[in-house]
A = this chain, B = another copy of it.
């Protein structure tokens, strides 16, 4: 076992091979104008020393890096699932993937996407996929695709899912089961997806002639902790709802836990519907009835679109909306 040693640079290689750094660089990049035996000698030293060019130094010089960035505020089930799809699209494309995540609660850091994009684009990545960004006003040099952004028609190409149909399916499912006191845990007010899900919920209730009770609507913020608090308020009151439509699965699962802690049985005493269909939604007890969003496909499409943009190939549709569907599992029952 060797001692920890400093990074091996192109200069080390040059010295060992008895050539200049310029020559080593030429060998690395397979440029013409290097004698065959010099090339061989340099390559021998490279593999002997285990040298690899620094990505950072390279990308400071070159402007192409063949690396795609995925920028997320946090690694939670939704973004993790999206990454699997992104990886599917990357495979065999010749690009590599860098995922950049701040270590924070989304609420603490408005504008993270602009910061990250600034810090990375032009160097390190040739383009980026922004996951649930809220600030999308500035255009940068590098191509960008937004997944589930602030507004559906931003300047960026976007990929999202059909929140309208999904939310309608969810609400009407509950209505169809005979529920009338249907609460909602809303999402992040700064995201279009959250607005749409809430809007449809209100419309569907109105269309069914259900008298609206504003106290039944609470902010869950797509966040477990916030949702837990909100669900607790909702379910511990005297006139509690018989059903909850949560704006995403994380909120729905939090609701399930709160119900359990309050001694409520799901679905006998309370029906719960989520949104997203993250893997965790099938694992909880009872398994969650939810709206499937093709998260993985969304990641795949976003990366495919980005690669076309980077290669300056034409992109047929710059605003993709994928279909959603209701997945009925065990967390809902007739009232």
Binding site for B on A (CB under 8 A): 1-8, 50-57, 59-60, 74-77, 80-81, 83-84, 86-87, 90-105, 114-115, 118-124, 138-141, 155, 278-280, 282-283
- A170 CB, nearest partner CB in chain B, Å: 20
What is the chain B residue whose CB lies nearest that of A75? B87
- A305 CB, nearest partner CB in chain B, Å: 16
- Given A139-B1, A140-B7: A96 and B103 interface contact (C-beta under 8 Å): yes
Would B84 and A123 count as touching, CB distance under 8 A?
no
Would B103 and A141 count as touching, CB distance under 8 A?
no
> CA–CA, A182 to B297, complex, Å?
36
- Given A80-B81, A91-B104: A98 and B98 interface contact (C-beta under 8 Å): yes
Chain B positions within 8 Å of A102 at CB level: 96-97
Would A56 and B59 count as touching, CB distance under 8 A?
yes
16 A-B pairs besides A54-B123, A56-B123, A278-B279 with CB distance below 8 A are A1-B139, A1-B155, A5-B140, A7-B140, A50-B118, A55-B119, A56-B60, A57-B123, A74-B91, A75-B83, A75-B87, A80-B83, A93-B103, A99-B99, A279-B279, A279-B280
CB-contact partner of A52 in B55, B77, B81, B118, under 8 A: B118
> CA–CA, A99 to B67, complex, Å?
12
Would B124 and A103 count as touching, CB distance under 8 A?
no
A-B contacts, 15 listed (Cβ < 8 Å): A4-B141, A6-B122, A7-B123, A7-B140, A52-B115, A57-B60, A60-B60, A75-B97, A76-B84, A80-B83, A90-B101, A91-B103, A97-B99, A97-B100, A278-B279
Q: Is the interface of A mostly helix, strand, loop or mixed?
A: loop
> CA–CA, A309 to B91, complex, Å?
33
A7, A86, A278 — most chain B CB neighbours (10 Å): A7
Would B55 and A124 count as touching, CB distance under 8 A?
yes
Chain B positions within 8 Å of A2 at CB level: 138-139
Would B123 and A105 count as touching, CB distance under 8 A?
no
- A318 CB, nearest partner CB in chain B, Å: 14
- A133 CB, nearest partner CB in chain B, Å: 14
Would B4 and A140 count as touching, CB distance under 8 A?
yes
- A298 CB, nearest partner CB in chain B, Å: 15
What is the chain B residue whose CB lies nearest that of A77? B84
Would A139 and B59 count as touching, CB distance under 8 A?
no
> CA–CA, A65 to B87, complex, Å?
26
- Given A139-B1, A282-B283, A283-B279: A84 and B95 interface contact (C-beta under 8 Å): no
Would A141 and B7 count as touching, CB distance under 8 A?
yes
Would A94 and B83 count as touching, CB distance under 8 A?
no
Chain B positions within 8 Å of A103 at CB level: 87, 90-97
- 6 closest residue pairs by CB, A with B: A279-B279, A52-B118, A7-B122, A90-B103, A75-B87, A99-B99
Would B74 and A87 count as touching, CB distance under 8 A?
yes
What is the chain B residue whose CB lies nearest that of A7? B122
Chain B positions within 8 Å of A1 at CB level: 139, 155
Chain B positions within 8 Å of A283 at CB level: 279, 282-283
Would B87 and A96 count as touching, CB distance under 8 A?
no
